[in-house]
Amino acid sequence: MTNSIARQAAAGAILATLTAVAAHVLGVQQLLRMPGILLYLPAALVGAVIGVTRLRPLLWISAATVALICVVVAYSPVVSNLARPLIRRDPIPNSVDAIAVLSGGLTPDGMMRSVTLDRLLTGLALARSGVAPNLVVSRESRSFDGMVVSDSIDQRRILGLAQPSAQVVFVDSVLTTRTEALRMKAVAQARGWSTVAVVTSPMHTRRACATFEAVGFKVICVPADARDSGLPDGSVGADRLRAFQSWLYETFASSSYRRRGWIP
């Protein structure tokens, strides 16, 4: 009897942990806004408890559901269809007052994440084409293991290589798209700017541009060239799964922004 209970608890713990891993791959973890806290151990403990009860079929149902979603996302273009309503691409006029490049995260060693680099390179390409005489770039600072790290050095390195003719203005300590919009609005008001080309990741465009419009900007929305977006036909499964993570996050974030009245 004791051995049977132990086996059931172990099976429940293993199944629940694997379900948590698959859910992490789909992007559920980032919705908690606690990236440093993994759910594997809590899932194992809950699974062990459920595994010895009559509720154990729930573990199989949960695992099967998450596994099916992973397979569908990885092996089909479903995420491309889901993402389409989130992407906004406006015609680019001959000139705007400034190009606003939004941040997308940094690593513990102070490097821009690939999302941020994609946005910066797209902004630099716009500046080189002469669309705007001003380039506004968000800089992030984060605490990792008690140390404050910034991506400012990495950004300056890329800007030094590109040597843009546009004047570069940095906006520091951004935490959310909302704070980016407010800080950039303060910069724009001080310089008399009203129209900006907002450059961000494709699935972030609709929420980001609506946020900037809500604080008073006239916005031209520009999706960045994303090298591993997972949206084009022929994308590999790993990229499609990352795209699903972005879709899931943006769906929840857009809903949150609407509830707070930050976007229509």
Beta-carbon neighbour count of residue 6 at 10 Å? Answer: 13
The topology under which CATH files domain 88-228+246-259 is: Rossmann fold (3.40.50)
Question: Are 116 and 77 spatial neighbours (Cβ–Cβ below 8 Å)?
Answer: no
pLDDT per residue as tens digits for the range 233-263? 889 999 999 999 999 999 999 999 999 999 9
CA 219 to chain centre: 20
Question: Are 113 and 155 spatial neighbours (Cβ–Cβ below 8 Å)?
Answer: no
pLDDT per residue as tens digits for the range 55-81? 999 999 999 999 999 999 999 999 999
Q: Where are the domains of the chain?
A: 2-76, 88-228+246-259
Element (H, E) at 3: helix 2-26
Contact residues for 23 (Cβ-Cβ < 8 A; gap 6+): 29, 39, 66
The predicted pLDDT at position 243 comes to: 96
Is residue 31 scored above 80 in pLDDT? Answer: yes
pLDDT per residue as tens digits for the range 157-174? 999 999 999 999 999 878
